[in-house]
Structure formats: C-alpha cells, structure tokens
Amino acid sequence: MAMASTDRVILGSIAFAIFWILAVFPAVPFMPIGRTAGSLLGANLMVIFRVLAPDEAYAAIDLPILGLLFGTMVVSIYLERADMFKYLGKLLAWKSRGPKDLLCRICLIAAISSAFFTNDTSCVILTEFVLKIARQQNLPPHPFLLALASSANIGSSATPIGNPQNLVIAVLSKISFGRFLFGVFPAMLVGVVVNAVLLLCMYWKSLSVQKDVENAEIELVSDEEVDSHRFSPATMSHVNSLHSQEQFSADSMNTSNQNQDNFNENEIKTDANGVFDSCRNSNASMEAANDGSLQMRDKNVTSKGILSVDGCLNMSWTAITAALALVVLDFKDARECLEKVSYSLLIFFCGMFITVDGFNRTGIPSAFWDFMEPYAKIDHAGGIAVLAVVILVLSNLASNVPTVLLLGARVGASAATISAASEKKAWLILAWVSTVAGNLSLLGSAANLIVCEQAHRAQPSGYNLSLWTHLRFGVPSTLIVTAIGLTLIRD
C-alpha cells in the first residue's frame, strides 16, 4: 500500500496517537474523558482530518465482531445463573496446595478455555471471579490477573477459533483445524508452562506470604460470596477508584442482601480495546491488503478475504444463536439480562475499528513491512527473528488482525517461493507471534484491557493493574515465550 499524502499521514498519526494515549491512560489530566469517548474522538478526528470519508468510516465498523461480543456477553450472564462459578471455584480449590498451585491452575484453565471459547470471552467471564478468589485467600491480585490475561492469549493461539486473527489465518491459508492444532499446540503448551514459571519466579515472595500488603485494609471475600459470584459485563469507564468506591458504597448497601441478582450500572464492564486486537475490521482492513502493492495477488486475497468475513459471520451468528436459545429456554423477560450487556464496550470497538483503519490507510504499517520484507525470509533463523519482530511491533501498534490482513498474503507468498511446507509454517508463525504479541503491553490485546478494566471496577473493592505492572512482566514473558515457541512451530 502506497503512503498517503503528507498531510494525511501527519493528521492520521495524530488522531491515532490521541486514541492510543486515551486507551492506555484514560484519565490523563489534560483530557480525562475515558476510553470509550477517547475511541470516538479518534474515529471522529479521522473523518474530520479527511483520512477517511464518512462512508469509509462506517464501513470500517466490524459488525460480525460486535455480534460475537454481544452474544458471548449474554451467554456469560446465563452461565453464571447456572452456578458455573460455584463449580469452577470447587475445581480451583480441590486439593489445592496453596497460592502457587492456584496460580498454575488459573493458567491452565485460562489457556484451555481460550483455545475453544476465545481469549476475550474467557477473560470477560473469569476476571472478577479470579479477583474474588485472590481476595478470599488474602493474596495479592496482580499475579493472578496477569496469569489470566497472559495465559488466555497464549492458549488462544492453538486453534483457529481461539481468537479472530487465527480464524482469518485459517481461512486465508486453507489450513485445516487439525493441521493448525498440530502445528501450534506444542508451542502453546510449552508457552503456557514457561509463562507460569516466569510468573512464579517473579512473584515467588508475594505468593509465599499469604497476605496482600498492598490492600491490607480491604475486606476479605467470604466463601459464600465466591460461590454465589455473578458475572458483570465491563464498561470502558475511567472513573478513578475513589469516586467509584463512593458510587459503589451506596449501591452495595442496597444489593448486599440480593445475592448480586440486581446489577449496578457501574459494575465492571469489560474493555475490549483488544477486540481491536482480536478481529478488527475484516472488511475495511482487507482493502489495505488488496491494495495496488499486491496486484499479483489481488483476486486471490479478495476471494479469500470474503471467506474470512463469512467465517467471522458464522462465529458471530453462532454466539448470537446460543444467546437467544438461552433466552428462550429461560422463559422469562430477558430485559434484566440484556441490560447487563456492556453497550459502552461495543461503542468503544466501533470507534477503535474506525481509528485503526484510518491509521492503516496512512500507509505507515505497510511501508514498515516493505522495508523489512527482504530481511524476513523464513529459510534461516535470522529471517524468522526479523519476521517475528515485525509482527510484534505491528501487532502492538496497529492491532493483530489488521497486521494479519496486511501481512498474511505477502508473508505466505514470500515463503511459498521456498517451499509449500515453508508457506504453511509462515502462516503458523504469523498466528503464533501475532497472538502472543498481545502480552507485550496493556494495549496489546483485548484480553489485557478486559482484565485491567474489570478488575478496576470490581465491587466491593477493585484493583488497579497498572501499565508498569503489566509491562514489567509482559515484556520478558512475551519475548521469551515467543522465542521458545518459534522453535516448536511445525509445518
């Protein structure tokens, strides 16, 4: 894709930078408007600056992904009604040998559930519950929250349905489910183990002393409260913890005897800055992949691109169908459940889809790949390392689905000149690195932001998982897990 005009590149970069800052620091002093408003501001600036036309901005919104999020939220609400958390709590507590054992179990459950139900869905459902488990045992929450987010990302890499970028890769490359699983599973399994070991090494002292020093004044969670846990959808609220506690104190007095059946509007609602990580716009981003720079592969990428949209649509309608089936089988007015859906989260994604698409249209990500492509051949270790670095950078800068759509055809074609086996391996490397890249920074994936925001807004006492806390673990974990996994990817 050719670079846009200088003014569009500059203005588009400014709009994207504003969005990025507000997504990572939603309460910055100069503009404390929060993530949802920040994403809409970034999208609006893309249109005002004429980086995108209004019709192009609307086309950038990925309705299949919005449908997938909506459906999984509704399903999650009905799962908690079936006492799923009660049984999950028993599983985590069964013959438990202490905090370190609990952390390893959370890593395993997050990885397995993400491989078959997507990483974002797992984090939406499990974040508050994991936080309550830590409170129940008077343990510091951050190792367990990091374990949930990072293991969910790594685990989702093993299957085409673990996350949207894998689905796109499976469709574009025509790799079967079994072949995909066989190729990535060894890397995923070792990656989860290595990630857990790194967590244990970094937080060994914290997990050895059963006391949460950071939150010593916070009331512990009872066994009954954990067993009766209720799922809370997430909002993109940026309200600080002091203000949120003031709001929650009055509500908690009214709801403490109702077993959390009536949800407060301010309850945790999940951020999904990541679904932008997850499956950005399979329509608009595809236009970048099908640009003039890919003339030799235009028809091929376009036809496969339509398939990828269909794949997301099928996934989306499957989730919506499951949600509606539960609504009908419940045989009650569904208004209460539907009110728990985080509509602010869906709005956030709309703005994010537009903003990221505008940034891709500046041509910066494509120009970066054009410069690095000659050095990213996978027929030698150095080339694989360069390719991995390119994917890591672009996935954290422009999100991983747009990166997959931008690089997929070109990486595959470049590897195909070596051999058919190399082409398959290149696609699997793209799937592995673009997924694990989500662990690098707080903005790296939707799963990270979902965990961060939900934990921050949790009742009765939230927990702030800071950018530094995540980076301190995320950077070494991502680099080590990615490097080890690359040696285990099978073609």
Note the pLDDT tens digit of each residue in 398-439.
777 778 877 888 888 888 888 888 899 999 999 999 999 989
Q: What pLDDT is stored for residue 191 in this prediction?
A: 96
Of 261 and 20, the one with more pLDDT = 20
Q: Are 185 and 158 in contact (CB under 8 A)?
A: yes
When the pLDDT of each residue in the chain is averaged and rounded to a whole number, the result is 76
Q: Please give the average per-residue pLDDT across 274-293, as a whole number.
A: 37
383-387 contacts, C-beta under 8 A, 24 or more apart? 384/429, 384/486, 385/486, 387/411, 387/426, 387/429, 387/433
HSE of 370 in the Cβ direction (CA atoms, 13 Å)?
11
Burial category of 255 from C-beta neighbours within 10 Å (exposed 0-12, middle 13-18, buried 19 and up): middle
Q: Which of the listed ranges 232-236, 374-378, 470-474, 478-482 does the model predict with the highest average pLDDT?
A: 478-482
DSSP helix/strand/coil, 272: coil
Q: Are 480 and 156 in contact (CB under 8 A)?
A: no
Of 237-251, 383-397, 398-412, 427-441, minimum mean pLDDT range: 237-251
pLDDT band at 462 (very low <50, low <70, confident <90, very high): low
Which residues sit opposite 269 in a β-bridge?
A: 234
Q: What pLDDT is stored for residue 239 in this prediction?
A: 35
In terms of phi and psi (left: phi > 0; alpha: psi -120 to 50; beta: otherwise), the region of 260 is left
DSSP 213: S
pLDDT at 464 over 60: yes
Which residues sit opposite 234 in a β-bridge?
A: 269
Q: Please give the average per-residue pLDDT across 65-91, as a whole number.
A: 76
Q: What pLDDT is stored for residue 382 in this prediction?
A: 92
pLDDT band at 232 (very low <50, low <70, confident <90, very high): low
Of 283-287, 359-363, 414-418, minimum mean pLDDT range: 283-287
Q: Are 267 and 457 in contact (CB under 8 A)?
A: yes
pLDDT at 68 over 90: no
Q: Please give the average per-residue pLDDT across 166-188, as a whole number.
A: 88
- The phi, psi pair for 362, rounded to 5°, reads -70, -20
pLDDT at 20 over 50: yes
Q: Please give the average per-residue pLDDT across 263-267, as a whole number.
A: 36
The tens digit of pLDDT for each residue in 185-225 reads: 999 999 999 999 999 999 998 887 654 444 444 445 555 55
Q: Are 369 and 406 in contact (CB under 8 A)?
A: yes
Residues 6+ apart with CB under 8 A from 257: none
Q: What pLDDT is stored for residue 236 in this prediction?
A: 42
With pLDDT > 90 as the criterion, what percentage of the chain qualifies?
29
Rounded Cα gap, residues 220 and 223, in angstroms:
10
Of 102-111, 286-295, 324-333, minimum mean pLDDT range: 286-295
Integer CA distances (angstroms), 126 to 60, 212, 230, 321, 335, in order: 30, 20, 10, 22, 23
Residue 114's nearest CA partner among 144, 147, 151 is 151
Q: Are 272 and 450 in contact (CB under 8 A)?
A: yes
Q: What pLDDT is stored for residue 123 in this prediction?
A: 85
Q: What pLDDT is stored for residue 107 in this prediction?
A: 94
Q: What pLDDT is stored for residue 41 in this prediction?
A: 96
pLDDT at 348 over 50: yes
In terms of phi and psi (left: phi > 0; alpha: psi -120 to 50; beta: otherwise), the region of 262 is beta
DSSP helix/strand/coil, 104: helix
Q: Please give the average per-residue pLDDT across 283-291, as a whole number.
A: 38
With pLDDT > 70 as the criterion, what percentage of the chain qualifies?
75
DSSP 458: -
Tell me: cis bond preceding 143? Omega within 30 of 0 counts. Answer: no
Residues 6+ apart with CB under 8 A from 202: 143, 472, 473
Q: Which of the listed ranges 260-269, 305-314, 354-363 does the model predict with the highest average pLDDT?
A: 354-363
pLDDT band at 1 (very low <50, low <70, confident <90, very high): low
Q: Please give the average per-residue pLDDT across 380-386, as a whole number.
A: 91
**Rounded to the nearest 10 degrees, what angle do helices 343-361 and 6-24 cross at?**
150
The residue count for the chain:
491
**Rounded to the nearest 10 degrees, what angle do helices 99-117 and 177-202 cross at?**
160
Q: Are 433 and 400 in contact (CB under 8 A)?
A: no
CB burial readout 440-479, b (16+ within 10 A) else e: bbbbbbbbbbbbbbbbbbbbebbbebeeebbeebbeebbb
Q: Please give the average per-residue pLDDT across 329-352, as a whole number.
A: 86
